[in-house]
Amino acid sequence: MLPDIKAFYDSIRLTETPSAPPADQPAPAAHTRLFYKEYPRFERIELPEVRPAGDLQELLDQRRSYRDFLDAPLTLEDVSALLTSCRLTTEDERRTYPSGGMRYPVEFYFMAFRVEGLETGCYHYAIRRNALEVLWPADLEPKSDAITSVYSHNPAGAIVMTSVLSRAHVKYGNRAYPLSLLEAGHAAQTIQLSAAARGLGTRPICGFVDSEIASLLDLTEEEIPIYVLAAGNVDRNAESS
């Protein structure tokens, strides 16, 4: 392994099987409490309910990563379908994707370039309320390459996933970072299948500029960007991967 990767791996690898706590010993509060980021003072846009569509096997066959997006804007229903594919599913607040120890460090943001009914700018997905919280308007076109890389052309929007590392670190230490990456990967596949069901295109991005996204979303040092999905309308017969 490369030295830096090996050093990081050595800092997180398990060297023995962890012992389970006694059955009658309650878990520490920090291990059981779930955390959610919300902006209660900001305007909130309720997302419309969207009915699921498509057979799973068919959607798996249709999943693609697209470079080029059409000029047609997304609708608010499109945005809802993509974000709510990562919704809460049970009363104990499990979700449609797995998370190590149910710590759910990943947060979802939406950057609107061209969306009917949404001002161009930055939004936070309030998962418990199934709503978009309006952060601030912004002209994102000059930042497009920094957000969705030079390999995505003309996206109508972008879903940004961040990790609030402390949620998982309190239980898993430095493994909180790779656990966050795994969680984001699970969520991204879910979003891509939802996009396929609506005939939309997406492109997973790791070549974003971290500092630009952190600045646009006003993230603290405790929250880091880890994954981006460009999204929009596409020619489904065009070249994809």
pTM of the predicted model, to two decimals? 0.90
pLDDT at 93: 84
pLDDT at 82: 97
Alpha-carbon distance of 198 to 164, in angstroms, equals 30
pLDDT at 53: 74
pLDDT at 60: 87
Neighbours of 31 (CB within 10 A): 14
pLDDT at 8: 86
Domains with residue ranges and CATH for the chain: 44-233 (3.40.109.10)
H-type alpha helices, the chain: 3-12, 29-32, 56-62, 76-84, 144-148, 165-172, 176-197, 210-217
Residues 133 and 40 sit within 8 Å (Cβ to Cβ): no
pLDDT at 1: 60
Residues 113 and 152 sit within 8 Å (Cβ to Cβ): no
Cα–chain-centroid distance for residue 143?
19
pLDDT at 186: 97
pLDDT at 31: 66
Cα angle for residues 200, 208, 122 (degrees, 5° grid)? 65
For the chain, residues with pLDDT lower than 50 are: none
Alpha-carbon distance of 88 to 105, in angstroms, equals 14
Nearest to 199 by CA among 235, 146, 175, 225: 235
pLDDT at 7: 87
Neighbours of 116 (CB within 10 A): 14
Tens digits of residue pLDDT in 196-227: 999 999 999 999 999 999 999 999 999 999 99
Q: Which residues contact 39 (CB under 8 A, 6 or more apart)?
A: 124, 126, 133, 135
Tens digits of residue pLDDT in 180-193: 999 999 999 999 99
pLDDT at 46: 94
